[in-house]
Amino acid sequence: MLNATNVGILIMLIGMYGLMVKKNLIKQLISVNILSVGLVLFFVGIGYVEGGGYPIYPVETAVDPLPAALMITTLVVDVAITSLGLAMIIKMKREKQLEAMVEC
C-alpha cells in the first residue's frame, strides 16, 4: 500500500543501498541524508489521521502534531551532522595535499 509510512521506509532503504554501494565520501554522506528524509516522511505518516485537519483549533479530528514537531529536531540534528561530515571531508583533502607538498 502506498502511504507515507511505507514510502518513508522505502526511501530509507534507498539510502542504505547508497551506503553499501557508493564509493565517494560525499555520496555516502548524501545517502545518510536520504535516509533521514525517509525517516522524516515515516514520522509524518505516523501522525496522519484520515481526513484530519490542522491541530490548531479544537476541531473534531486533527492530525497528530507530535511526530512533526519531533522531526523539526531531527532535521536540525541532520543539518549539524552533515555540515560536520563535509567539514571533515574538506579537512581530509587539505591535509592530504599538505602532506603531498611536504613530500615534494
Partner 1 sequence: MLVMMVVLALFFAMVLLLTSLINDHKHLTNILFMAGILSPALIFIFHSTPVDIDMVVGGWQPISGIAIGLDNYSRYFLVAELIVFGIVGFYSLFYYQDEPRKNKFFGLILIMHAGMMGVFLSKDLFNIFVLMELASASAFALVAFSGGERAQKAAFRYLIFSIIASYLFLLSIGIIYANTGSLNFELIRENITRSREIDIAIALAFTAMILKTGIFPLHFWLPDVYSESDTPICALLAGMTRRAPIYAMLLFTIYLPMNHLSQLLMIVAFASIFFGFIMAMFQNDVWRLLAYASIGLMGIVLVGIATENFMGVTYYVFAHAIVTVGLFLTTGTISDQQKTRNIRDLTYRHHMLIFISVIMLSFALGSMSPSLNAYAKNELLIGLSRMEAFLFQSAFVLALLIMFKMNYLLWHGGYDKQLDTRVTPRSFISAIPAALSIALGIYLYPTLVLVDILLLGAAGALFFLFLSMNMLEYTGIEKLGERFKDLPTTNNFYFMVYFGFLVVFLLYTF
Contact positions vs partner 1 (CB under 8 A): 5, 9, 12, 16, 19-25, 28-29, 32, 35-36, 39, 42-43, 46, 66-67, 70, 73-74, 77, 80-81, 84-85, 87-89, 91-92, 95-96, 99
How far apart, in whole angstroms, are the C-alpha atoms of residue 9 and residue 40? 10
Nearer to partner 1 by Cβ, of 52 and 67: the residue is 67
Question: Whose Cβ is closer to partner 1: residue 53's or residue 99's?
Answer: 99
| Residues in CB range of 42: below 8 A, 6 or more apart | 4, 5, 8, 9, 12
Contact yes or no for 28/18 (Cβ under 8 A)? yes
φ, ψ dihedrals at 62, nearest 5°: -130, 155
Minimum distance, C-beta of residue 96 to partner 1, in the bound complex (Å) = 6
- Smallest gap from residue 77 Cβ to partner 1 (A): 5
Contact 49, 67 (CB under 8 A): no
Residue 59 or residue 80: which is nearer to partner 1 going by CB? Answer: 80
